[in-house]
Structure 1
Amino acid sequence: MKYLLLCFSVFVSILVNGQVSLVYPHNRQVFQRDANNQALISVLGNCPQNVSLVKYRLEPVKAGQGTLIDWTNMPFKPVSGFFQDKIVAKGGWYTLKIRTYQGTKLVDSTQLDRVGVGENFIISGQSNAQGGNKRREVESSSKDDRVNVANIYNYFKDYNNSPNYRYLGRLNTDFTFTDFKHLDSLSTIGPMGISNYYWARLGDRLAETYNVPICFINTAWLATVMRNWYESSLPDAKPSANPFDPTIFFDAGFPFKNLKRAVELFGKKNGVRAILWHQGETDSFGYRFDSYELRNLKTDIYQQNFKDMIKNLRTQTGINVPWLVSQVSYAAGLVDGACTVSYVDDLLLKKQGDMVTEVSGIPEIYSGPYTDIVEIPRKMDIFSACVHFSPDAYEEVAYLWWVKISEAISKNAKAISPKPLPSFSVICDNSNATNLTINTSDAIRVLENDSLIVSTSPNVNKAKSANYSVRLQDEVGNEYSVPSFQFKTLISPGAPTVLVKGDTLFCQGGSVELQVANPELSYVWNTGAKSSVITVKEKGFYQVKGTDSYNCSSVYSMPISTQVFDNPVAPTISQESPYFLKTSVLKASDTNLFWEYNQSPLSEKGTILQVKDSGIYSLYVSKKYTPGPTCFSSKTTYNYSLPSELGVVVFPNPVVNTLYLQARTTLAGAMVKIYTMDGRLVMDSLIPQDGAGQLNVQHLAEGLYKIWVKTSDQIVYVNNILVSH
């Protein structure tokens, strides 16, 4: 019991997590190949919105049954919960595998077991195409898995009692694409097939010959004459009289409507190689007692009705499907358990043979098989009824069809290629609502949940999350449907994250770089700048919002505040004395001074600088803001030249009371002596420290004196000074 519970829980987990699904194509759907043995397969599916990549693999079901397309990225990123692509595939029978990814991480997978590029045929005519008059207990079946049918039915249930088809309702022409099935003994060649007849054998032959899958659609209607097909093909078709009882009528538009709808739906979406036409027995049976002249007239009418019916089909659908026309006239009846005298009509056979393009001039009409020689006489059981083929003849009839189909293909019968699904695009409007666009020029209805019409234009504005399907109608009225797929509104990107490269508090002339962390979006700042990186030089608040590739916009980011601080005023430099420069800057606790000589920094940090060499002196000031940066003034320069004495300088001269001494070298320990002009020593002093020496001479009498200075590095300076009080 524990084991069973464990298995069940694992199964439920897989179901819950399995979120990718294929909407189109459908299982066992066959797409008509072209002359290059390839077809375009439209793919539409659903996946979670966080999926960033979808890959597909088209893998032959069996080795040699197709051309592998290994894992390939779908070029369009999934969006709004769906993905789409168009795959060019070679003829073959495939498994379509899908994988979804978030970045490089595999998220989910699914597959379509069977899908093909091959040959599609629409069967039409009367009972020897439809499958006799009743389904047999043991039906024929195809041995090759690649032979397929639309397993649907819209005829009388009494004729086909199989419990396995999808019954559409009597004469309902809303043919489905979800019921393709292998042509086995339990399937029905819908929508009108009674039995599988010889078509299973033909399918096997074709699949083996061309190594591609085959699909049959059957629109034949037993006991019909050409008049019924022609009259029901008219634009304003009235009910056509039954050939055996003129008081009984076919429903208006039938039997032709089944054929037209098959061309319109299956021929358009799947593509089709040809209509396989087998009809004429009932017409022939009606001519059996007529004179040659009357038969000639009636067969002329038969042929003209046939031509007009084909033209009507092509006009009403806009699709020139090739035809293969059988030559058939063998007629007999079962009366009291015995066959009546059989009848064949050479005039009818000739008119059928003359339908080919070479004679009729109508494009794409080819010769079908001549079957009047098959199984003669016909069997008299209730299934064969003296006119239908028994299982013993299936192989021969299939062979005859195979020969004629092969001839038509070799003559490059212009198969109708499948029409791809329209592509979808989404975009956000200015309010961030999602607009869905179906790219088509056809008339359109967009439905929610297959019932509520939400748009009759290709644009669904402000679309909401829902299941949508699409019904298209081209210029001649052909319907084309897109199956229901899950649509989700676009998710707007989150508010951007801004990286600050630097300090938001900066000095005048400085800046800070603001950069958005995610560069994938398009950005606009509240300043109007449109880039992921901006350089800010001014005070203010800065925010940015992003717009993704679908025009969906985020909210603004958190604001970034910047502040700009003033730089100190450039200082002034003046020469205070021969060997000293000074500045007017007032030194404060938040201020520093930076002196330079010929652009090299000096150690002096004060407002006065002793200079010892000629050159360019400069000064700039810093100011520290708290909180905030340290800002610097511009530099002020001063071109200084040494005094001409190049030694000790004494000033002022004349001197009143105080005499100053300055030297290029140190004055610390310098001896200073002042003499009268006759050599008498009147002052003897020693300068204790470097810098500017200072002597008080107010006690000296006015007059001319000689000063003698000797520095510690033995420089001697002698000069005259004038004391003038």
Structure 2
Amino acid sequence: MINFQKPLKNKRLFVTFFLFAALLFAQATSFAQVNITFPLSRIVFQRSNANTATFVVSGTYQQGIPERVEASLVPMAAGQGTETSWQLLEANPIGGIFSGTITGQGGWYKLKVRVIRNGQVAEQTETERIGIGEVFVVAGQSNARGLQNYGAPSANDDRVNCFNFLNASFETNELPEPNFAHLNSDSYIAPYGYSAWSWGKLGDMLTNRLNVPVLFFNAALEGTTSRAWRESTTGWATNPYIGGTYTNQLPYSQLRVTIKQYASLTGIRAVLWHQGEADTQFFLSEGEIVSNLQQVVSQSRNDSGHDISWMIAKVSYNARTESAVINAQNRVIQTTHNVFEGPATDNLQVPRPDGVHIQGQALSTLAELWNASLTQDFFNRSQPQAPVPIPIVKIGCADNGQVKLTVQGNFSSYSWNTGWNEHIFNTGPGSYRLKARDAAGNFLFSPTINISNKTFEALPKPNQPTIIAKSNLVICAGDKAELTVQDASGFRWSNGATSQNIFIGDNQAYRVQIKDQNGCWSDFSAGVSAVVNPVPEVPTVVAKGPLDFCADASVELEVQGATSQATNRSIEWSSGQKTGTITVNTSGQYAVRAMNQYNCYSSYSTPLRVTVHPLPATPSIVASGPLRFCEGETVTLSANTPLTTIWNDKVSSQQLKVAASGSYQARTRDALGCTSLPSPEVKVEVNPIPAPPKITKYSPFTLEATGEYLPNIQFKWTYGDKNTITTDNLLKAVDAGKYSVTAFYYIDDAHMCASPASDDYQYILESSVSQIAVYPNPSTDGAFSVESLNNIENANIYVVDATGKVIFYQYLPSFTKSQPIKVTDLPSGFYMLRINGSRFPAVTQKLWVIR
């Protein structure tokens, strides 16, 4: 097993110098003819699974602005692709450069570009060997990288390509821009492939089978374990052969820079992985190898920002085979998304001359094994990544003898060969080159932009503008006319203005230049001027009253001599009226102007300021208590204002004490003498006090309050420490003693008006009267009234004659007051009254009828 070693830098320096010199030669092409600056010969763009690719075409042309630039693809040989029609790259390109995209099917092409002027082909050029096909990045260890002088066969098909460059210094951040070449037996395959190895032969097989060109990049490094690949995805990897660590975060750093710089430019079909010999040598476990490979696959996808397909060969032979290594590789193939099974190479050329490396004819066999694994099913199911469009730089006009360079597209960073890091800037003559990074960190170079005097000749000049008057150009002295010009990106007027519209007030001629969207200025327009007419004298205004008053007053303003104005002169107030006299009742400044026969207005007269003081706020009345109350009471009315209050336009006081019914309003007066509108009306209602009642005896057990009262009157009886309220004027008195009564009525739920108390009445419960009283007794007509001292529930009232016959009966659920009994048609004589009830023993009373 060959240990890790670092090749010499000399060859890389030579190749770099050669590429740089070639690039300078290409950039030196003048504008004398059309020239293609991208793509370079032998580049291969990754095709889609639909067998198509779209890529950028850019270049330069001679001075002047063409109508359009077109491109087409023509197969290098019959059957090696499908010729396209002419496709538009860019219409009316400016600044001597053009760019656009072209789409074609898989094949090996001449890229033709032509410039159209006046409907004719003016210039035409072509670049040979532009490919749409398959791009692979090789990774792994020495049987992937290859070695010199091991019998590596050259690719015979012209369509098999590489970038013949060796990154001898293991640069990790940026590699030279690729200059593609045919893959010969001793070619390097950038960035670290050391020979054609088996890849040239595989390229022949693929181009023969797929009939599309093939491009290889190679990031493999000899003597590397899967552990070293995994460790270097995030840091420094251990070198088990010589101790210490690999330099420059090898080996993964070469795969990272290849993906970010080369695979982003061309697109990629898949990473072809051949590694495992070192894992066998250092006895890595199956589980670790699975984890290592999955991490490397995942990191490659993170770094590219795409789901890159992988094909993993089954490799362990290092003087012996190791099943753990093969098992791990199978597990990764079977369990990892978008990873495909590669060739099994352990049985190839066993034993091997040096114990590890495949040599001689076996390299062709190795190519056959890879070809057998790259099946049509793989091409159907793998996920090719399209090329990332290179940065497109557009040239536009700028002031002060400069041009503006603008980068199209979205990139995360910009780095120019001059040190600038912006996507737009102004500059002068020179050569400019951009390196830009996209959101995934992939970086691409723009073609070199050469700025010279001929660049300015190829910038468009807008047509001479025409000034448009947006208002009448016949104006009055002091007024302005508005001039405008068509929409543009910038404007320069002869008076120094830079807006699209200007206003002029004199008879000078005005001209304008316009700038288009490319920053280019036109010639000056023709001049435009205005006609300025005179204005009349300023009139005078007089006031016919005070100019300071309350809002309920007004003042007249009059134009002096308004009634004698000439017929060719009219007036107009600042408030809009057109009469000689106006009536004003609103604060403000009032002025008037005159108009002459040219319809020109004078300036406004010196304004008269009218101050109209607002009326105080209309007050609200607040009452200290109810607005309905009894005679003898009062309510105090207050207005909710600190200002002077005037009640019913008569009384001036902050408060008003009211004792009589009526309606009340309040106004307020401020310090300026302005009086408010009247408040909402408040109505006060004073209710009379009832006359004191008199007490008389209504019946043996009932007292009566007498007097003339309305039906809503109630009575409050007081005797001893007791009170009884009745809704009629009668009270059953069951206790002897002193009684008094008050008449009252409610004016609302909480307020009543009551009379003074009556004189005391001494009620005597007659001892001769039992609990039942009958009156009149005797009766001349058989009509009696029966009254019980105590209330009787479920009372039964009987009247029986001398024989015991019941001649009258009445049932009362509640016997509480005097009850009439009428036993008519009875002969004179004595009868017996009997009463009983619940919890009331029967009592009898004699009735006497006299006819």
TM-score, L = length of structure 2:
0.51
SS of the residue 1:122 aligns to: strand
Q: Residue in 2 aligned with 1:354?
A: 331
Report the Cα offset of residue 219 of structure 1.
0.8
Of 250, 270, 291, the residue aligned with 1:304 is 291
Report the CA distance shift for 1:376/1:446 in structure 2 as closer, same or farther (over 3 A).
closer
How far apart, in 2, do the equivalents of 1:84 and 1:496 lie? 25
**Is the Cα–Cα contact under 8 Å of residues 31 and 117 in structure 1 kept in the other structure?**
yes
SS of the residue 1:74 aligns to: strand
Q: Residue in 2 aligned with 1:406?
A: 375
Of 377, 385, 406, the residue aligned with 1:416 is 385
Report the Cα offset of residue 88 of structure 1.
1.2
SS of the residue 2:249 aligns to: coil
Q: Which residue type is aligned with residue 154 of structure 1?
A: N
Q: Residue in 1 aligned with 2:419?
A: 453
Report the Cα offset of residue 392 of structure 1.
1.3
How far apart, in 1, do the equivalents of 2:309 and 2:460 lie? 53
Report the Cα offset of residue 387 of structure 1.
1.9
Q: Residue in 1 aligned with 2:551?
A: none
Deviation string, structure 1 residues 606-639 (Cα, Å, up to 9, x no partner): xxxxxxxxxxxxxxxxxxxxxxxxxxxxxxxxxx
Q: How does 1:5-404 map to 2 (within 5 A)?
A: 18-52=32-66, 53-104=68-119, 106-132=121-147, 134-136=148-150, 139-155=152-168, 169-171=169-171, 174-234=174-234, 237-241=235-239, 243-246=240-243, 248-287=244-283, 298-332=285-319, 343-356=320-333, 359-360=334-335, 362-378=336-352, 380=353, 385-404=354-373
Report the CA distance shift for 1:197/1:557 in structure 2 as closer, same or farther (over 3 A).
same
Report the CA distance shift for 1:42/1:67 in structure 2 as closer, same or farther (over 3 A).
same
Report the Cα offset of residue 525 of structure 1.
9.3
Q: Which sections of structure 1, spanning at least 5 residues, go unmatched?
A: 1-13, 156-168, 288-294, 333-342, 500-518, 532-537, 564-725
SS of the residue 2:59 aligns to: strand
**Is the Cα–Cα contact under 8 Å of residues 49 and 78 in structure 1 kept in the other structure?**
no
Report the CA distance shift for 1:172/1:316 in structure 2 as closer, same or farther (over 3 A).
closer
Report the Cα offset of residue 82 of structure 1.
0.8
**Is the Cα–Cα contact under 8 Å of residues 496 and 556 in structure 1 kept in the other structure?**
no
SS of the residue 1:75 aligns to: strand
Q: Which residue type is aligned with residue 318 of structure 2?
A: A
Report the Cα offset of residue 122 of structure 1.
0.4
Report the CA distance shift for 1:103/1:135 in structure 2 as closer, same or farther (over 3 A).
farther
**Is the Cα–Cα contact under 8 Å of residues 328 and 349 in structure 1 kept in the other structure?**
yes
Deviation string, structure 1 residues 301-355 (Cα, Å, up to 9, x no partner): 12211112222222233232111001011112xxxxxxxxxx1111211110111
**Is the Cα–Cα contact under 8 Å of residues 172 and 248 in structure 2 kept in the other structure?**
no
Report the CA distance shift for 1:75/1:484 in structure 2 as closer, same or farther (over 3 A).
closer
Report the Cα offset of residue 33 of structure 1.
0.5
Q: Residue in 2 aligned with 1:535?
A: none
Of 545, 552, 558, the residue aligned with 2:520 is 552
How far apart, in 2, do the equivalents of 1:131 and 1:46 lie? 40
How far apart, in 2, do the equivalents of 1:353 and 1:140 lie? 30
Report the CA distance shift for 1:186/1:131 in structure 2 as closer, same or farther (over 3 A).
closer
**Is the Cα–Cα contact under 8 Å of residues 45 and 485 in structure 1 kept in the other structure?**
no
Report the CA distance shift for 1:444/1:189 in structure 2 as closer, same or farther (over 3 A).
same
SS of the residue 2:267 aligns to: coil
**Is the Cα–Cα contact under 8 Å of residues 119 and 215 in structure 1 kept in the other structure?**
yes
Q: Which residue type is aligned with residue 124 of structure 1?
A: A
Report the Cα offset of residue 49 of structure 1.
3.5
Report the CA distance shift for 1:561/1:497 in structure 2 as closer, same or farther (over 3 A).
farther
How far apart, in 1, do the equivalents of 2:256 and 2:460 lie? 49
Q: Which residue type is aligned with residue 366 of structure 2?
A: V
Q: Residue in 1 aligned with 2:712?
A: none
How far apart, in 2, do the equivalents of 1:253 and 1:521 lie? 51
**Is the Cα–Cα contact under 8 Å of residues 26 and 177 in structure 1 kept in the other structure?**
no
Q: Residue in 2 aligned with 1:513?
A: none
How far apart, in 1, do the equivalents of 2:160 and 2:358 lie? 21
Q: Which residue type is aligned with residue 307 of structure 1?
A: Q
**Is the Cα–Cα contact under 8 Å of residues 63 and 96 in structure 2 kept in the other structure?**
yes
How far apart, in 1, do the equivalents of 2:266 and 2:446 lie? 13
Report the Cα offset of residue 547 of structure 1.
4.3
TM-score, L = length of structure 1:
0.60
Report the Cα offset of residue 559 of structure 1.
5.2
Of 404, 411, 416, the residue aligned with 1:442 is 411
Percent identity of paired positions between Structure 1 and Structure 2: 28
How far apart, in 2, do the equivalents of 1:124 and 1:118 lie? 20
How far apart, in 1, do the equivalents of 2:63 and 2:29 lie? 18
How far apart, in 1, do the equivalents of 2:461 and 2:445 lie? 36
Report the Cα offset of residue 259 of structure 1.
0.6
SS of the residue 1:399 aligns to: helix
SS of the residue 2:446 aligns to: strand
Deviation string, structure 1 residues 448-477 (Cα, Å, up to 9, x no partner): xx2x212x23221x2323322222223443
**Is the Cα–Cα contact under 8 Å of residues 265 and 480 in structure 1 kept in the other structure?**
yes
Report the Cα offset of residue 495 of structure 1.
9.0
How far apart, in 1, do the equivalents of 2:465 and 2:161 lie? 59
Deviation string, structure 1 residues 379-399 (Cα, Å, up to 9, x no partner): x2xxxx232222211232112
Q: CA RMSD in A?
A: 3.6
Report the CA distance shift for 1:562/1:105 in structure 2 as closer, same or farther (over 3 A).
farther
**Is the Cα–Cα contact under 8 Å of residues 51 and 100 in structure 1 kept in the other structure?**
no
Report the Cα offset of residue 544 of structure 1.
5.8
Q: Which residue type is aligned with residue 271 of structure 2?
A: I
How far apart, in 2, do the equivalents of 1:314 and 1:375 lie? 34
Q: Which residue type is aligned with residue 283 of structure 1?
A: D
How far apart, in 2, do the equivalents of 1:283 and 1:560 lie? 87
How far apart, in 1, do the equivalents of 2:52 and 2:97 lie? 26
**Is the Cα–Cα contact under 8 Å of residues 138 and 271 in structure 2 kept in the other structure?**
yes
**Is the Cα–Cα contact under 8 Å of residues 465 and 524 in structure 2 kept in the other structure?**
no
Q: Which residue type is aligned with residue 96 of structure 2?
A: G
Report the CA distance shift for 1:494/1:222 in structure 2 as closer, same or farther (over 3 A).
closer
Report the Cα offset of residue 561 of structure 1.
9.8
Q: Which residue type is aligned with residue 352 of structure 1?
A: Q
How far apart, in 2, do the equivalents of 1:225 and 1:15 lie? 48
Q: Which residue type is aligned with residue 330 of structure 2?
A: G
Report the CA distance shift for 1:55/1:523 in structure 2 as closer, same or farther (over 3 A).
farther
How far apart, in 2, do the equivalents of 1:51 and 1:543 lie? 27
SS of the residue 2:232 aligns to: helix
Q: Which residue type is aligned with residue 97 of structure 1?
A: K
SS of the residue 1:69 aligns to: coil
Q: Which residue type is aligned with residue 518 of structure 2?
A: Y
Q: Which protein has the larger Cα radius of gyration, Structure 1 or Structure 2? A: 2
Deviation string, structure 1 residues 145-192 (Cα, Å, up to 9, x no partner): 11001111023xxxxxxxxxxxxx454653233321111234222221
**Is the Cα–Cα contact under 8 Å of residues 51 and 101 in structure 1 kept in the other structure?**
no
Give yes or no for the alignment of 1:481 onto 2:481. no
SS of the residue 1:44 aligns to: strand
Q: Which residue type is aligned with residue 353 of structure 1?
A: N
How far apart, in 1, do the equivalents of 2:461 and 2:76 lie? 45
Report the Cα offset of residue 68 of structure 1.
0.8
Q: Which has the higher contact order (CA 8 A, sep 6+)?
A: 1
Q: Which residue type is aligned with residue 465 of structure 1?
A: P
